[in-house]
Structure 1
Amino acid sequence: MAVICATIGRGRHSSLIEEWKAAATAGADLVELRIDCLRREPDLKRILKDRFTPLVFTIRRGADGGMWRGDEEKRRAILREAIALGVDYVDLEDDVAGEIRRFGKTKRIVSHHNLKKTPDDLDEVVARCNEKDPDVVKVAAMAGSIADASRILKLGQGSKFPTITIAMGELGRFTRALNAKYGAPFSYAGFNPERVFAAGMPLLSELKKDYLYDQIDADTEVYGVIGDPIGHSLSPAIHNAAFRSLGLNKVLVPFQVPKGGLEGFFRDLAWIGIKGCSVTIPHKEDLIPLLQHKENAVERVGSCNTVAIDAEGVRTGYNTDYRAAMDSLEAVMGRSDDPDAPSPVIDKQVLILGAGGVARSIAFGLARRGAAVTIVNRHEERAAQLAEEVGCRSANWGARATILADVIVNCTPVGMHPNVDDTPLPPAAFQRSGTVVFDTIYHPENTMMLKLARERGCTTLTGVDMFLRQAALQFKIYTGQDAPVEVMRAALKRKLGPLKDE
């Protein structure tokens, strides 16, 4: 079973020891002590007197991303002292490991770091590490593309020694969870949110609670959420909680795929056998030409937010945004229990902000239900094009605050974390008490736009309801089982804090 190694490093001995103790209390299985962060010469007997967890002892050089600026011979002497004191693991760079002999029960991590790029000769890098008497091999390199990250992760397949593969940077974030599937004995995570030791490194709480890293093994099926940016996504937390609550050996991880990179993503990661993906900005429309099959809603709307992939790599597209958004809006507007009753949005004046995938789904759904839709977008030609396809009208973005509407729907990313003080509409836009204001953003739940609308007597609908509904539909597509919605809600509550209606 793979475990999580929490990396800690402080300038003072006392702070390092206290943080080690705190990491143990927080559930760290293993702790990496970054001795290079200490401002004074390390007193190893003091540091190692009380061992709160098993540990990895590391003194990282500046060239490898560390803070050690002292003499190299002194550094090696400290490493030898740690081995003599019986630390559980010692990290030895591949150009140094041959100079430091094995002693006692200390296990040797022979590591290679490249902070600038992914080396072309990765196989040779691993071969060199294998020759230096390792118990564990670690390869960490900066990924410049999904293809780089894929090559790094693949090193774990069939490796001679247990190999920790880390593609650094946001493009390689997924490798920090998936390396457990390919034999990594552990993965590194940050502990203190204020101290980031490597680009793309998740926190201990993320790997432990969002990805359930210690439950990932060779048989775990892989799903993803693809977008750019993707670090804000809460899909991993809620889907992974749902998978495990039903005893399903599956994991969903984030893939940061730049616009135009979808074809390469499917090609470069085909070897993993990804079973399905949630799809977000900016790929919901670009994905459609890459689908072999698609449901009617995708054909009709021209947007896809979910793809299922079979064993032969055949991709089938779905649009769960469409159904979830309509259900959310109709519920807040008083949908009748009579299935033959008209939709409560019929004849309502609806203003949609944005012209991307979510806006497209909602515009088509509302128009089909008889609403009078107006679309505005910063790029006015996109608004006009979407309006023509939907059969509604568009307006100038600059006039958005003066358009009278019964329903306002924000489908732009304005106000999304971390830009939580932004709003796509000024206070003057909320002119009519009772207007329904729907923000499809779910992180944060209560956006600045919704706060302003609520202050002026509007009925507000957060993106959380739509998010949970569409995620539950995705779960059904992925697994064939009904989603444990309350488990998903609890996971979302943990990530966002108490939900507004609870």
Structure 2
Amino acid sequence: MELLTSAYGTSVARRAQLVAVLAEPEDLSPARLRGLTGVADALEVRADLVGDPDPHRLRRHFRGPLTYSLRSRRHGRRSALGPVERRARLLRAAQQYDLVDLEAMDDLVPELLVGIPTRQRRVSWHQPEATRPDRGADRWFGAAMREASEALRHRFAAMRTVPAAAYLLVPQPGAQYGAAAPLLLTGLGRTDVTAFASGPAGTWTRVLAPWLGAPVVFGRAGAPGADGMPSVAQLRSDYGLPALPPLDALFGIAGRATGGSLAPRLHNAALRHLRLPALYLPFPVDVFPRFWHWAFVFGALARLPLRGLTVIAPHKRGAVEVADIADPHALRCGAANVLWLDAGRWRATTTDTAAALHTLARAGVEPGGRSAAVIGCGGAGQAVALALDQAGARVTLVNRGDARGRDASSRLGFPYVPLSRFSPAGHTVLVHATPVVERPPFPITAADRDAVVLELVYRDPPTALMRATHAGGLVGIDGWDVLFVEVSEQFRLLTGHPLPEALTLRSLCFGSAEPAEAHDLAKPAGQPPARSAMRSASGEAT
């Protein structure tokens, strides 16, 4: 096991400026503005989304600097003003705002440059979607990243001919998952340039950019946006921003939909607590082998090597395929949810097995001799089925899609029943391992009175299955209990360190301040959370 050692104390932590973006009408309310005091350093008004609020009213509730941005359709947003009206609004904003965003090319005209002094200018460029770069071949990742980074450098060289207080470049994520944007920052040696990729695929570049030299990081004043911008609250709770402690390596979660996962919040809290120089990021991935190749190229170019991943649907099979060593459980079910570097070799395993058995044991449930049904034959479902079998249970597989169900049955050697013909009667352990949360996947009223329901997904409010389980008086173990066990085991594998006992994972998730004795791993399983979570996860439980 390669321990990730602390680099704290050898360098002084830096700090980024945290900018709260007002992008919804409710962001202009006095309550929200006052709530940003002491949380954000500055505000940015997206006038193309919220109009032109009175800056004096904003300053009554928020004391920090104000930026005015009127994003045009050419730069990917709503404003379709003609040049005369657009320039009039920008010049008017210069009389009242500390910084005014000027879009490269269109706004860099004598009228605006004369009326807006250098100290108030932010020159920006947002790449239109129509010019999204070609994906290219895997073998050219390194060259493609360098070429994209060089193209951004040329773009910036043209922008900096106009003196300004700040510069902003936002390319499309493209084939290199937005890697060109953070790579641009690594060699500039400037403190006035911010660059990140747009869209949900570029969220990780927004978060990482300050560590590579960007002076600011942007977060929505309200909820996270569809454009990939996290909320200010999320930047603070999930990534510890605006503090910038030393950074030598990256971890992350890789899957089709990573935006709702709580894994970054929990892992980064533990990394900060132990003062380990690493950051855990969300990586939306379409094709896992391409991402795997890209990760090593990016790590080498940015000098931030990838040291481990948690992997969620639909890439758990891909995690087994790229590993140097996969443990027997992962090989048998053909799926892994953790990849980590160990003595120079990549190992793969699944923590779903240990999590399922641990949470059942904490609820006082001994699987041996019981009849268990596992609903869902994805990677997590197969791993739990194997664990139950090894614990002495009689396992039946259940799946909506017949092909996957029969394939899992053939692979594992367990009987299979299509979901359309499944009845929970006769099974005293029922494991739900699908992402369906809106309705119970089977009629809970038909379950035996002594049945225990274990669900792998976590949601707030509770899923339909958990609500029906508790309403029927059955023992229900929801995905929160599974999550906390999995995170503890995954963190140990990824870093070589146990999860700090001082961290209360339930408090981190729910924004509460529970006493130390209510630590998650000591809390009896089967109880619903005491407080509501800030948001829910998507896809399979990690």
TM over 0.5: yes
Q: For the structure 1 residues 188 and 115, does the alpha-carbon distance in structure 2 shift closer, same or farther, using more than 3 Å as the test?
A: farther
Of 101-110 and 301-310, more deviation after overlay is shown by: 101-110
Distance of 2:340 and 2:82 partners within structure 1: 55
Contact 1:238 1:489 in 2 (8 A): no
Q: In the TM superposition, what is the alpha-carbon distance from 1:52 to its structure 2 partner?
A: 1.7
- How much is the aligned-residue C-alpha RMSD, in angstroms? 3.0
Structure 2: distance between partners of 1:229 and 1:219: 25
Cα shift at 1:82 = 4.1
Change (3 A) 1:46 1:365: closer
1: CA distance, partners of 2:435 / 2:499? 27
The aligned residue for residue 522 of structure 2 is none
Aligned AA for 2:104? D
Q: Which residue of 1 aligns with 2:119?
A: 106
Distance 2:377 2:161 in 1: 56
Relative distance call for 1:114 and 1:23 in structure 2 (3 A) is farther
1:32 matches 2:48: no
- Matches of 1:45 and 1:429, distance apart in 2: 63
Q: Secondary structure at the match of 1:264?
A: helix
Q: 1:68 offset after TM fit, Å?
A: 3.5
Residue equivalent to 2:360: 329
Does 1:397 pair with 2:419?
yes
Partners in 2 of 1:476 and 1:29 — Cα distance?
Answer: 35
2:180 aligned with 1:151, yes or no? yes
Determine if the alignment matches structure 1 residue 353 to structure 2 residue 375.
Answer: yes
Query: Matched residues in 2 for 1:440 and 1:279: separation?
Result: 15
**CA separation of 1:36 and 1:48: change in aligned 2, threshold 3 A:** farther
Q: Which amino acid aligns with 1:255?
A: F
How big is the shift at 1:396? 2.2
Question: 1:482 corresponds to which letter in structure 2?
Answer: P
State TM-score, norm by structure 1.
Answer: 0.86
Gaps of 5+ in 1: 335-343, 416-420
CA distance in 2 between partners of 1:52 and 1:127 (Å):
34
Q: Secondary structure at the match of 2:167?
A: strand
Q: Does 1:267 align with 2:278?
A: no
**What secondary structure, in the 3-state scheme, does the structure 2 residue paired with 1:472 have?**
helix
Q: CA deviation at 1:301?
A: 4.2
Give distance in 2, aligned partners of 1:311 and 1:143: 33
Equivalent position of 1:492 in the other structure: 509
Match of 1:316 in 2: 347
8 Å CA contact retained: 1:367, 1:392: no
CA deviation after TM superposition for structure 1 residue 404, in Å: 2.2
Going from structure 1 to structure 2, the CA distance change for 1:9 and 1:369 (only over 3 Å counts) comes to: closer
Give yes or no for the alignment of 1:72 onto 2:94: no
How is 1:269-308 mapped onto 2 (pairs within 5 angstroms)? 269-270=295-296, 271-272=298-299, 273-308=305-340
Q: Which letter maps to 1:235?
A: A
Once the two structures are TM-superposed, the CA of residue 442 in structure 1 deviates from its matched residue by 1.4
TM norm structure 2: 0.80
Following TM superposition, by how much is the alpha carbon of 1:325 offset from its aligned partner in structure 2, in angstroms? Answer: 1.2
Which amino acid letter does the alignment assign opposite residue 409 of structure 1?
V
**Is 1:94–1:112's contact at 8 Å kept on the other side of the alignment?**
yes
Residue pair 2:23, 2:221 contacting (<8 A) in 1 also? no
Pick from 219, 237, 246 the counterpart of residue 265 of structure 2.
237
Q: Residues 68 and 99 of structure 2 are in contact (CA less than 8 Å); yes or no, is this contact kept in structure 1?
A: yes
Paired positions, count: 477
Shift in Å, 1:98:
5.4
Shift of 1:364: 0.8
Q: Which amino acid aligns with 2:414?
A: C
Counterpart contact for 1:434–1:457, Cα < 8 Å: no
The answer to whether the 8 A contact 1:61-1:67 is kept is: yes
Correspondences of 1:74-473 after superposition (within 5 Å) = 74-83=85-94, 85=96, 87-95=97-105, 96-97=107-108, 99=110, 100-101=112-113, 106-117=119-130, 119-120=132-133, 121-145=151-175, 147-159=176-188, 161=190, 162-193=192-223, 196=225, 199-216=227-244, 219-258=247-286, 261-270=287-296, 271-272=298-299, 273-309=305-341, 314-334=345-365, 344-401=366-423, 403-415=425-437, 421-430=438-447, 432-444=448-460, 446-473=462-489
Which residue type is aligned with residue 441 of structure 2? P
Q: Which moved more, 1:361-370 or 1:400-409?
A: 400-409
Per the alignment, in what secondary structure is the counterpart of residue 156 of structure 1? helix
Is the alpha carbon distance of 1:404 and 1:441 closer, same or farther for their aligned partners in structure 2, counting shifts above 3 Å?
same
CA distance in 2, matches of 1:26, 1:423: 43
Residues 21/492 of structure 1: CA separation in 2 closer, same or farther (3 Å cut): closer
Map Cα deviations across residues 61-89 of structure 1 (whole Å, 9 max, x no partner). 2332444444423433443454455x433
CA contact (8 A) 1:239 1:488 kept: no
Do the aligned residues in 1 keep the contact of 2:33 with 2:58 (CA within 8 Å)?
no
Q: In the aligned structure 1, how far is the partner of 2:186 from the partner of 2:444?
A: 56
How far the C-alpha of 1:411 sits from its partner, in A, is 0.6
- Pairwise CA distance, 1:448: 0.9
Supply the AA of the counterpart residue of 2:198: M
- Tell me the distance in 2 between the aligned counterparts of 1:298 and 1:175: 31
Distance 1:308 1:118, change over 3 A: farther
Change (3 A) 1:118 1:28: farther
Cα distance in 1 for residues equivalent to 2:29 and 2:118: 23
What is the alpha-carbon distance in structure 1 between the residues aligned to residue 101 and residue 326 of structure 2? 49
| 2:182–2:205 contact (8 Å) kept in structure 1 | yes
For residue 164 of structure 1, report the CA deviation from its aligned partner. Answer: 1.7
Structure 2: gaps of 5 or more residues: 1-14, 134-150, 300-304, 519-526, 531-542
**1:20 Cα deviation (Å)?**
7.0
**Residue by residue, what CA displacement relative to the aligned partner does 1:400-454 show, whole Å, maximum 9, x if unpaired?**
1355201100011111xxxxx3221134432x11201111111237321122122
* Residue of structure 1 in register with 2:494 after alignment: 478
1:228–1:256 Cα contact (<8 Å) kept:
yes
Confirm or deny that 1:60 pairs with 2:71. yes
Deviations 1:106-134 (A, max 9, x none): 25321101241565543432222222223
Deviations 1:380-406 (A, max 9, x none): 232222223323211122111355201
Change in Cα spacing, 1:447 to 1:21, as seen in structure 2 (3 Å) is closer
CA gap 1:79/1:310 in 2 versus in 1, 3 angstroms? farther
Aligned equivalents of 2:462 and 2:347: distance in 1?
34
- Could you say what secondary structure the match of 1:425 adopts? coil
Give distance in 1, aligned partners of 2:332 and 2:25: 59
1:360–1:386 Cα contact (<8 Å) kept: yes
CA-to-aligned-CA distance 1:137-173 (integer Å, 9 cap, x gap):
211233344x141223322221254432222222112
